[in-house]
Structures are given as structure tokens and as C-alpha cells.
Amino acid sequence: MTKKILILNGSPKKNGNTAILVDWFIQGAKAKGAKTEVVRTDFLKYKVNGCISCRRCQVSDIYECVIKDDAQPVLAKMNDVDVIVMATPLYFYGASAQLKLVMDRMFSLFKWDNDNDTMTTNLKNKTLVLIGSAYEDIGLKDLENPFKITAKYAGMKFASLLVPNAGESGEVKDIPGIKAKTIAFGKKMAG
């Protein structure tokens, strides 16, 4: 079975460490026959900044955000792929704001029945992947934790590739073995 992989690149840098890691990941995934699509979250145009908790998504049968902007089709695609990759540099011990805006809107991909204390989501049994890099060797576990929690809550599998000491933009290429490791990770996620 050919896996479909949606990659959200949360970096505002076109040729930065995150973009390089994403390219290597895609090489590996495509080597295993996966179909990949990359969304540069820094180019998305929004009507609102993040989820506004209008809860209109909760009265709809469709698992998507009702706000019609560039995030809406990205969120809808999450329903139709096998693997969702979130790629981000570490910014103040968390994901980039560009990625976090989309993550907040993922609220629309869950349906809660508070009277019966139940939740359903089309994300169940999919895989959530984090690709994260940091300038130095601190903060990556803090970055990883919200993604891990989200995956567990949604009933998703979780995997991560965390790259410490990536340095400044583009310097990730200088880390011995990281290209091969990232390509292998892409193959594994596509397998």
C-alpha cells in the first residue's frame, strides 16, 4: 500500500535546517514509494490567528474547520493521509508560530460529545511525526512533548526525529551522518 504523507514545514526560512531535513525525509519516503506533499505554513493566509473556539466545527458532520482560509484545505487533507509530519525549528522551547497556528485549528478534527464523555476523530490510527531541530542541545524534549500528548490523545502512533546542535540556518548539513539518518527515518515512516 502506498502511504500518503502530508508534511507541514513550520519554518519561515526557505533554505534553513528544517527545509533541509524535510527534503532528506522526502527522499527516504519517496524511495519507499510514498506520495508526499509539503505545505509551507509561513505562506498560509489566515482570516483568524489560530482557533477562535467558535465551535461551529462541532455541529458539523465533517471533520474540518469552517473558517474559509488557507488553513481549511490543509486541515481537511489530514483526514485523507496516513502520516502527518510536523517539521519545526525550536523557538523558545516550542514549535514555530507558523506551525502552531495550524495546530490550534486541528481542534476542528475532533468531535466531542460532552454529555456522553466521548471523543471521535479521523486522526485515530494515523501516524504523527515530529521533525525538530535546535541550535544547541537543549529544549528538544520540551518541543516534543505537546506532539506526543496530541498523538496519544488522538489514538495516533508517534515518531520523532530530533536534531540537536543543528547550528545556524543550513549548518545541519555539517552534522556527520544526519543526512543518512533522516533519509532512513523517511523510509521507515513510509514503510
User: Residue 79: what pLDDT?
Assistant: 95
The 3-state secondary structure of 23-75, one letter per residue: HHHHHHHHHCCCEEEEEEHHHCCCCCCCCCCCCHHHHCCCCCCCCCCCHHHHH
CATH number of the structural domain spanning residue 64: 3.40.50.360
Give the model's confidence band at 114: pLDDT under 50 very low, under 70 low, under 90 confident, else very high: confident
Give residue 23's domain range: 4-190
Give the model's confidence band at 19: pLDDT under 50 very low, under 70 low, under 90 confident, else very high: very high
Contact 62, 92 (CB under 8 A): no
From residue 102, how far is each of 39, 65, 71, 125, 134 by CA, in Å? 11, 11, 6, 20, 21
Residue 36 clears pLDDT 90, i.e. is over it: yes
Share of the chain above pLDDT 90, in %: 93
Q: For residue range 55-92, what is the model confidence (pLDDT) as tens digits? A: 999 998 899 899 999 999 999 999 999 999 999 999 99
* Number of domains composing the chain: 1
Average pLDDT over the chain, rounded to whole?
A: 95
